[in-house]
Amino acid sequence: MDTTLQDPLVGRLLDGRYRVDARIAVGGMATVYRAVDTRLDRVLALKVMHPTLAADVSFVERFIREAKSVARLAHPNVVQVFDQGADGSYVYLAMEYVSGCTLRDVLRERGALQPRAALDILEPVLAALGAAHRAGFVHRDMKPENVLIGDDGRVKVADFGLVRSVDTVTQTTGSVLGTVSYLAPEQIEHGSADPRVDVYACGVVLYEMLTGGKPHTGESPAQVLYRHVHEDVPPPSAAVPGLAYELDELVAAATARMPEIRPYDAVALLARVRESRAALGAEQLDAVPPQAVTAQHDNADDRTSVIPRALTALRQLPVNEDDDESRYHRTSRLESPPLDTPRRSPRPRRTVVTLVAAVLLALGLGLGVWYINSGQFTEVPPLLAKTEAQAEDRLADAGLEVGQVRHAYSDTVRRGTVISTDPAPGARIRHNDSVTLTVSDGPETVKVPDVAGHRLDKARDLLQGSGLEPGMVTREFSEDVPRGSVISSNPATGTTTRAGTAIALTVSKGAPVDIPDVTGGDPAEARQELQEAGLKVRVATQRINSEHEAGRVARQNPGPGGEAAEGDTVTLTLSKGPEMIEVPDVVGDGVGEAKQKLQGAGFEVEEDRGLLGLFGDTVRDQSVQGGETAPKGSTITLKIR
């Protein structure tokens, strides 16, 4: 079921220009839609503020002001802002539409990434943030949800909705805007935000990419915030043994609790990332994380929200299940009382019972209507990356049943876990209905067939028949394998690999043949000599000027002295004789000036001084008179007197 059909904006023409086609995502501040600009006929993303926030005039003014600032930030890794406006209670931004997925989607499906992949994503993110920092902006809400990965592989940073100018960052009171899991300690304690809060968030994101999980977790947002302030981010290698020490150092530098110790902005962190990458070998960069690190993700703390900032004296929260104060902090607040606040005595049980009864009485009047309208429906829970048994348990908890279980190969989803569901996660469905699961059988694997000795076209057919793809072809000389036949494959014969893998082939050029030198010779004789060497001959249609007589071989390709394969073709270009050019008249000129004229025209120059010209400096005669023609490159002799 398509839940976007229930969205009042879907299908509407916003501001007389933007046709809203589908809802893409819902965040803590706004909803994002795929829309069409009917004036320019292009697809774009429309970010519409939630009506509750749109009613706050000061918030809207800041939203508009900051959107205009970000629109001036032109960078290939930043999602561009095209337009801003309002239609009634709807305040919106028109932005670049990126077809693809978010980093959160990747982490949810794959869990921990290889270090090379993590750095490949982090570098363009830091490039985008670096451009913002150098332009005077701080993002303030970096997280995997705001990293878009296009179908073409390009990485872009989105949602600069909380951006503010560096020079306007001040300590605030009351609340903090942001996402709990990625807030820097100084944001939590003082509400301050400079480029180093983005550096901290990127360090947390890097940790999450390397391990598949967040560094700080807790039963409530307040516990997560407490840990950001009072506990260091652990080294990724503690969760994924074998990760390189340089990656631990990189995460530690970016997530230092004291902002003065962190790189001062994203540009500085990008330099550190590139230094770390250069220090890692291919084996360290391509280390495969253990399957056990696959993320079991919950979106509860990933939404941007308004967080009360009564956290200047955070303390560890109690976990005693019988402690009313403990339950109060875990379930209803994001702040903890100051250290010197006296501990309140537990409330009498009668008070709690009376309160519950009053609430139930107040809700009872509307309960029947609620059940009729929506109580008979539920939503399909998130099941992606769950095992079949886990998915069945979750569906049972939601009052749903497992319908058909299908299987499919997958290169990205771990064997035995859910690839997709029908209906999709989040879809509205009746109680007791069934959900169809598609479970991964892992990547399809095949063995590389033996293609050695086969002609290239036959080898390609064998590979495709085995579910593989013919890859790059390299040609080498071989004394043993006939020309045009396969010498070897990579991966080698018998290797088990994923279906669809490209197999590189090495094809024989045959035994090497020494190429004789036939330049200057008669074309017929040159042809015979080359053919006797096992080579084919082609004569170029156009001739060129050369030092050789007209009709002789002026040039050959490949040149003499090299090696070719038997049956290769040598192209001969014939001479049309030397180029004839006019000789300058230099009689009466000084020797230096005469040489300059002749050499500039393309001639060689010799001097004939005789006994009388030993000390002379004037040209008395020249071997070819001025105005006559001579072959370009030929020698003109000057008589000096």
Give the start-to-end residue ranges of the domains of the chain.
3-96, 101-308, 385-440, 445-508, 512-574, 580-640
pLDDT digits (tens, 9 = 90+) for 530-559: 999 889 999 999 999 888 999 999 999 998
Residue 341 has pLDDT above 60, yes or no: no
Mean pLDDT of 449-478: 91
Peptide bond into 289 cis (omega under 30): no
**What's the pLDDT at 511?**
86
Whether the per-residue pLDDT at 347 is higher than 50: the answer is no
CB distance 620 to 567 below 8 Å: no
Percentage above 70 pLDDT, the chain: 81
Residue 327 has pLDDT above 60, yes or no: no
The pLDDT value given to residue 268? 93
Cβ atoms of 137 and 70 within 8 Å: the answer is: yes
How far apart, in whole angstroms, are the C-alpha atoms of residue 478 and residue 19? 64
The b-or-e profile of 411-439 (16+ CB within 10 A means b, else e) is: eebbeebbbbbebeeeeebeeeeebebbb
Q: Tell me the residue length of the chain.
A: 641
* Between 27 and 513, the higher pLDDT residue: 513
Q: Which fold has domain 445-508?
A: Trypsin Inhibitor V; Chain A (3.30.10)
Which token pair is 164? Answer: 């503010």
Residue found under tokens 């009388």: 612
101-308 matches 512-574 in fold? no
Would strands 81-87 and 30-37 be described as parallel, antiparallel, or unpaired? unpaired
pLDDT average, residue stretch 565-591: 91
Say what the pLDDT of residue 346 is: 41
* 3.20.20.390, 3.30.70.580, 3.30.200.20, 2.60.40.10: CATH of 3-96: 3.30.200.20
Predicted local distance difference test score (pLDDT) of residue 126: 96
Q: What does the block give as tokens for 556?
A: 């050959």
| Low-confidence winner among 122-136, 208-222, 255-269, 279-293 (lowest mean pLDDT) | 279-293
pLDDT at 474: 85
Q: Is the pLDDT of residue 96 over 70?
A: yes
User: Under DSSP, is residue 443 helix (H, G, I), strand (E, B) or coil?
Assistant: coil
**Is residue 196's pLDDT more than 90?**
yes
Please determine, for residue 201, whether its predicted confidence score (pLDDT) is greater than 70. Answer: yes
* Pair 23, 47: CB distance under 8 Å: no
pLDDT (0 to 100) of residue 56: 74
Q: What is the structure's pLDDT at 162?
A: 52
For residue 488 the two structure tokens come to 């070897």
From the list 83, 141, 450, 608, the catalytic residue is 141
* pLDDT for 412: 64
Strands (E), 260-367: 305-308
Catalytic-residue membership of 56: no
The fold adopted by the segment(s) 385-440 is Trypsin Inhibitor V; Chain A (3.30.10)
Side-chain half-sphere exposure of 157, counting CA atoms within 13 A: 33
Identify the pLDDT of residue 315.
40
Provide the mean pLDDT of the chain.
81
Share of the chain above pLDDT 90, in %: 41
Per-residue model confidence (pLDDT) at position 338: 36
Beta bridge partners of 437: 405, 421
- At residue 167, the pLDDT reads 41
Assign a CATH topology to domain 580-640: Trypsin Inhibitor V; Chain A (3.30.10)
Least confident of 11-25, 141-155, 345-359: 345-359
pLDDT given for residue 361 in this prediction: 41
CATH of region 101-308: 1.10.510.10
- Please give the CATH topology (third level) of the domain spanning 512-574: Trypsin Inhibitor V; Chain A (3.30.10)
